[in-house]
Amino acid sequence: MAGLELLSDQGYRLDGRKATELRKVQARMGVFSQADGSAYIEQGNTKALAVVYGPHEVRGSRSRTLHDRAVINCQYSMATFSTAERKRRPHGDRKSAEMSLHLKQTFEAAVMTQLYPRSQIDIYVKILQSDGGNYSVCVNAATLAVIDAGIPMRDYVCACTVGFVDETPLADLCYAEEGGGGSSLALALLPRGGQIALLQMDAMTACKGVSKVLDEVVRQHLQDVSVLTRE
């Protein structure tokens, strides 16, 4: 048998969404009391917890201290039971390290670090259940947690993935869609300025005229999340 049919002739995806529809998004801020900020977000079956500690003084080696701004320290990890096949360890593998680095870069661009010289802000994100779009869900969770911590940001960071089935862009891919071949593109944006904080494309596809469509898809999502966070 051939693989899954990602987009039916009637325009429905595997889970019944149309091409540009996002999964159901649910979020809550202030999940934990001990951390300075925390948030929980679900995008369909991808569920993430983010907590923020800080700003506090730089832990460990003093040499990491920056004199003009705060150090952003991120750790991305996944619960061992979060994936269909059990993971051996929650973090420390190459993929997690890469994700941590991406998160760090994304939030260095968004958080107004210059307000907290010689200090450190920890952002820890944990995927509790993984069903595609882990990175974007993490970014969204972390944004909410940073807001919960009351740390000023230039803008919200919102992220979403887009994939393609025969040149039709699909928003917010689930795991089955990510694995269905084709390409996927993860994008984090600062919606007010329309600035891109992270752009990552896997697999090879034409970017011909695609960026325009993609922009629209992501913008729509941004609006959703911004509305959500402002409520």
Write out the binding residues for other proteins, residues 4-33 only, by CB under 8 A. 5, 8-10, 12, 14-17, 21, 23-33
For 215, counting Cβ atoms within 10 Å of its Cβ (0-12 exposed, 13-18 middle, 19+ buried), the class is middle
d(CA 120, CA 230): 26
The size of the interface with other proteins (CB under 8 A), counted in residues, is: 73
Residue number with CB closer to other proteins (170 or 195): 170
Of residues 136-165, which lie at the interface with other proteins (CB under 8 A)? none
Residue number with CB closer to other proteins (92 or 194): 92
CA distances from 104 to 99, 110, 123, 179 (A): 9, 10, 8, 26
Please tell me whether residue 40 binds other proteins under the rule CB under 8 A: yes
Please tell me whether residue 224 binds other proteins under the rule CB under 8 A: yes
Residue of 7, 19, 75, 138 interacting with other proteins (CB under 8 A): 75
d(CA 121, CA 53): 6
Residue of 37, 55, 163, 182 interacting with other proteins (CB under 8 A): 182
For 5-130, where are the E strands, in sequence order? 25-29, 37-43, 46-57, 71-78, 119-129
Reference 110, options 96, 128, 97, 123; nearest CA is 123
Site string for other proteins, 189-208 (x = CB under 8 A): --------------xxxxxx
Helix axes 210-230, 134-148, angle to 10 degrees: 30
d(CA 174, CA 69): 37
Residue of 61, 150, 193, 227 interacting with other proteins (CB under 8 A): 227
Interface with other proteins by CB under 8 A: which range of 62-70, 105-113, 124-132, 192-200? 124-132
Interface with other proteins by CB under 8 A: which range of 64-72, 104-112, 174-182, 191-199? 174-182
